[in-house]
Copies of this chain bind each other. A is one copy, B any other.
Amino acid sequence: MAKLNWGIVGGGEGSQIGLAHRMCSALDDKFIFKAGAMDIDPVRGKDYGVRLGLEASRAYGSWQEMLEAESQREDRLDLVTIATPNATHFEITKAFMESGFHVLCEKPMTMTLDEAKEIVALQKSTGQICAVNYGYSGYPMVRQMRDMVEQGQLGKVRSFVAEFSHGFHADAADADNPRVRWRYDPRQAGVSAQFADCGIHALHLASFVLGQNPQKLSADFAACVDGRELEDDALLALRMDKGAVGRLWSSSIAIGRMHGLTLQVFGEKGGLRWAQEQPNQLYWNPINQSVQILERGQNGLSAASGDASRLTIGHAEGAPVAFANIYKSIAKDIEARKAGSPLGEAEVAYPTAFDGMVSMAAIDAAAKSAKHESAWTALDY
């Protein structure tokens, strides 16, 4: 199969996320980097694109220019990644989708729930791919968890415990650091800081693995560092749409936690535990037996897990491979469409606009609950 043409909006020079997308899209020989509008400054953006190897004609000065030119090419892009500042995701995603492009949008997909609903509607009406980069769902052992749940190895899932906590916003001396401050300012960040930024990854992960979406929740938001208006520490109780009970903690003041994304799932027949920081091991306890350590790459794991795994057992495989798996899953869908048989819903392994919308609904509901004495609040989607 020929390579797929890939382009990016945003991710200019010095951007870590831009590097990550180029690195991860290239990892599997599926996508080839063909076009970009990489900087708000047209000259800088074009120059950078050319230095990265783009043809000069496809190193664009703006996303509008890129949209127009690419729309008219025979060899137009097969996938456009949106990695611009958050506030612009909605507009750019919408524009590219309306012109018939498949899109992978960085998280958050939109700034409001209404916008998110609009994207979902657009996705449904066009049938285009709209993926959202909840990249942690690309880890092989996360997919293993999902498959074990789906295949019934846990029996009915009763509950999950999800965390995403770090300690890098704990320093009060750092409170005026503009890189930190805006995140806790409702005028810039919206109704939620830590839950919207990190906690939502944990919630997506749980939803992805359980195959259940959050239905209602009770939230406690705390602003522990003096002077913050938005929460830097959040606790949520949840009920999922197929009955699972949820517990979620997310903090940015948890000194000693690095990038503490973890998920535990408890069912009638067993329990699972996974942590992003040591992603190659999955702890599985079938009820009334010993805990087993499932290793990425071992025999007997699910097909999806194996497919997402590149190196032999015991090699530390990490986040770049996980993120690359999002691209791999999208490529699989694009190639299937080109071959005339798009994936069925159950086969789609990448996070979608629907997930992006549920996230917005969860953030809204959590902020509302936190403001109203942790009252249980339904998600509106």
Contacts and interface: CB of A to CB of B under 8 A. Distances in A.
Interface size bucket, A side?
35 or more
A272 interface: yes
Contacts of A171: 287-288
Nearest to A313: B258
A108 interface: no
B266 A283 contact: no
B222 A159 contact: yes
Contacts of A251: 159, 266
A111 interface: no
Interface in A313-357: 313-321
A320 B156 CA distance: 37
Nearest to A22: B29
Nearest to A225: B158
Contacts of A220: 218, 237, 245
A254 B61 CA distance: 54
A298 B287 CA distance: 12
Nearest to A246: B235
Q: How many copies does the complex hold?
A: 4
A291 interface: yes
A117 interface: no
Contact of A311 (B29, B253, B319): B319
A314 B166 contact: yes
Point out which of A22, A32, A158, A277 has the most chain B C-beta atoms below 10 A from its C-beta.
A158
Interface string A250-266: 01011111111000101
B266 A254 contact: yes
B159 A233 contact: yes
A314 B277 contact: yes
Interface string A214-250: 0000101010110000000101010000000101010
Interface stretch (A72-80, A96-104, A200-208, A369-377): A369-377
Nearest to A219: B237
Interface in A9-52: 16, 19-20, 22-23, 26-29, 32, 51-52
Contacts of A278: 278, 316
Point out which of A168, A258, A268 has the most chain B C-beta atoms below 10 A from its C-beta.
A258
Point out which of A16, A235, A259, A316 has the most chain B C-beta atoms below 10 A from its C-beta.
A316
Nearest to A254: B266
Contacts of A266: 167, 170, 224, 251, 253-256
A273 interface: yes
Question: What 9 A-B pairs come out closest when comparing CB atoms?
Answer: A259-B314, A258-B314, A255-B271, A318-B318, A256-B285, A220-B237, A256-B271, A316-B318, A158-B224
Interface of A: 1, 3, 16, 19-20, 22-23, 26-29, 32, 51-53, 158-159, 161, 166-168, 170-172, 218, 220, 222, 224-225, 233, 235, 237, 245, 247, 249, 251, 253-260, 264, 266-268, 270-273, 276-280, 283-285, 287-288, 290-295, 298-299, 310-321, 373-376
23 contacts: A16-B312, A29-B52, A159-B253, A168-B313, A170-B268, A170-B271, A171-B288, A218-B373, A220-B237, A254-B266, A259-B315, A260-B314, A276-B314, A277-B314, A291-B292, A311-B320, A316-B316, A317-B320, A320-B320, A373-B376, A374-B374, A374-B376, A375-B375
